[in-house]
Amino acid sequence: MKSQMFLLSILFTVLLVGIRTDVQGQMKDPTGHLKKIDPDEIFVAFSQMGDCPNSLEQVVDSELAQSRIKRKESWEYTELILYVKVNCLLLDNVPSTVYSVDIKFAEFVFPTSKQPDEYSFVLRTYESAYGTFGITSNNDSGTQFLRSVTREALEEALLDYLKVNFDL
């Protein structure tokens, strides 16, 4: 009985952490939309919530540097952005953390349903093919594991970006 309650609490927690709310519909094939005029730089929106290690944004900066892509300091609302969201939830019953890593490309576009003005635009996200969720331990090896899965998801996203923009 106790083990069943434990498994149910883990499943419920994973489902809660895995829920995403996007503002506008997602596109199935993002690769055509990754093309940029200035592909050597991209704005990164990084969001980290919950009990995640503080070092995860360093993973983002490191992967951008290895890909030779400069992280833009300022953002223009009509340009493509790389959105990185990491959520962590510390479990009370066991020394573990439930995590989700969600990486996607997005851009703001003018709505098609009404007459746009200069302040009318909506966020279009391209289907997230990059990321994962799971459970890891609350120690140094768990932190390294979370850094590793974040790095792997970023590598996949940046590889698609590089392929489209640099004809690799």
Q: What is the mean pLDDT of each run of 10 residues along the chain (168 residues)?
A: 46 43 42 82 94 90 96 87 93 90 85 61 72 92 94 94 85
| Identity of the residue numbered 148 | S
Q: Are the C-beta atoms of residues 91 and 51 closer than 8 Å to each other?
A: no
Containing domain of residue 83, as a range? 2-166
Total domain count for the chain? 1
Q: How far is CA 131 from CA 75, 121, 146, 160, in A?
A: 24, 27, 11, 14
pTM over 0.85: no
CA gap 82, 127 in Å, rounded:
12
